[in-house]
């Protein structure tokens, strides 16, 4: 009988061949120091470069992994959904393939989740106590803080809470909780939708500071203008849900 998996880590990958060596370097300390079992769940989201072959080659040293391939690019939300469905751990984390966050923090996040009987630990690079490696343009700060303010107001409940990021992928969930969350978005909006559905479901979420580095390789796949309209659409649906009970 095989030992049960403690923590699965979902890693969505779309044309990330350049980032994978750095990802291996960043995952190594987590794998070597964690006192719990770790499963790596790579979701190759229809990559057109050598991502799939490079995952097999670069992570050949690590046996406890899965590689699921989408035949065509389906975007971040769809990749995260596939990762959740294929994760075997008691806890499920999600990280970027570009090494933006430090995976070693998952050890600390798991401790916080267990000690506080929480359902989700969300790592935020825009938390006042977090550090971002580069100074972002003013409009990115305005977008981030403006969107968070609107979400926090739309989701306001007593006792008061305040989340600093609704869009970060870097989170740790209880598997039995995240597998219940039926989020619809296939895009980058999925991360905001997941957090909103957890909040509306009265699950316990803890927002913590997480230092982040701007990606070294590749490019961001997020489309800012489209995301603004999608955020406003989701916020509107939340307001209608809270007023008249219309399904999100």
pLDDT value, residue 55:
98
Token pair 């209608």 is at which residue? Answer: 240
**Tens-digit pLDDT string for the chain (248 aa):** 456 999 999 999 999 999 999 999 999 999 999 999 999 999 999 999 999 999 999 999 999 999 999 999 999 999 999 999 999 999 999 999 998 899 999 999 999 999 999 999 999 888 878 876 555 565 566 677 889 999 999 999 877 678 999 999 999 999 999 999 999 999 999 999 999 999 999 999 999 999 887 554 444 555 677 888 899 999 999 999 999 887 77
Asked if residue 159 has a cis previous peptide bond (ω within 30° of 0), the answer is yes
Q: Please name the residues in contact with 77: beta carbons below 8 A apart, sequence gap of 6 or more.
A: 183, 185, 186, 187, 188, 189, 190, 191, 193
* Beta-carbon-side half-sphere exposure of residue 160 (alpha carbons within 13 Å): 2
Query: How many beta carbons lie within 10 A of that of residue 170, not counting itself?
Result: 25
Do 211 and 108 contact (CB within 8 A), yes or no? no
pTM of the model: 0.91
Strand order in the sheet with 205-209: 65-70, 38-45, 7-13, 91-94, 171-174, 120-124, 205-209
Q: How many helices and strands (H and E) does the chain possess?
A: 8, 7
Q: Domains of the chain by range and CATH?
A: 7-244 (3.90.550.10)
- Is the distance from CB of 195 to CB of 166 less than 8 angstroms? yes
Residue 176, burial from CB neighbour count under 10 angstroms (0-12, 13-18, 19+): exposed
* Helix, coil or strand: residue 43: strand
- Segment (H or E) for 123: strand 120-124
Residue 128: what pLDDT? Answer: 78
Judging by beta carbons within 10 Å of its beta carbon (0-12, 13-18, 19+), is residue 115 exposed, middle or buried?
exposed
Please return the burial class of 158, using the count of CB atoms within 10 Å of its CB with bins 0-12, 13-18 and 19+.
exposed
Q: Please tell me the predicted confidence (pLDDT) of residue 5.
A: 96
Q: What pLDDT is recorded for position 222?
A: 58
Task: For residues 60 and 77, give the distance between their C-alpha atoms in angstroms, rounded to a whole number.
Answer: 27
Per-residue model confidence (pLDDT) at position 215: 54
Structure tokens at 135: 């100074």
What is the C-alpha separation between 125 and 105, in angstroms, rounded?
13
């Amino acid at each position: 009988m095989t030992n049960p998996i403690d923590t699965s880590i979902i890693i969505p990958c779309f044309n990330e061949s350049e980032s994978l060596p750095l990802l291996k370097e960043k995952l190594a300390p987590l794998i070597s120091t964690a006192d719990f079992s770790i499963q790596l769940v790579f979701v190759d989201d229809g990559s057109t470069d050598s991502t799939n072959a490079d995952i097999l080659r670069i992570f050949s040293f690590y046996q406890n992994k899965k590689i699921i391939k989408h035949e065509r690019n389906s975007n971040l939300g769809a990749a995260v959904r596939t990762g959740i469905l294929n994760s075997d751990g008691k806890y499920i984390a999600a990280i970027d393939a570009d090494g933006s966050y430090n995976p070693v923090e998952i050890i600390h996040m798991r401790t916080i989740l267990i000690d506080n009987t929480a359902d989700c630990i969300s790592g935020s690079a825009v938390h006042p106590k977090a550090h971002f490696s580069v100074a972002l343009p003013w409009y990115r700060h305005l977008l981030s803080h403006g969107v968070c303010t609107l979400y926090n107001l739309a989701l306001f409940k007593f006792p008061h809470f305040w989340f600093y990021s609704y869009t970060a992928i870097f989170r740790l969930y209880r598997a039995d909780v995240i597998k219940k969350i039926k989020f619809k978005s296939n895009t980058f909006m999925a991360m905001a939708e997941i957090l909103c559905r957890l909040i509306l479901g009265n699950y316990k979420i803890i927002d913590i500071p997480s230092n982040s580095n701007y990606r070294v390789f590749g490019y961001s796949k997020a489309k800012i203008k489209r995301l603004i309209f999608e955020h406003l659409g989701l916020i509107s649906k939340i307001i209608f849900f809270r007023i008249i009970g219309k399904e999100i």
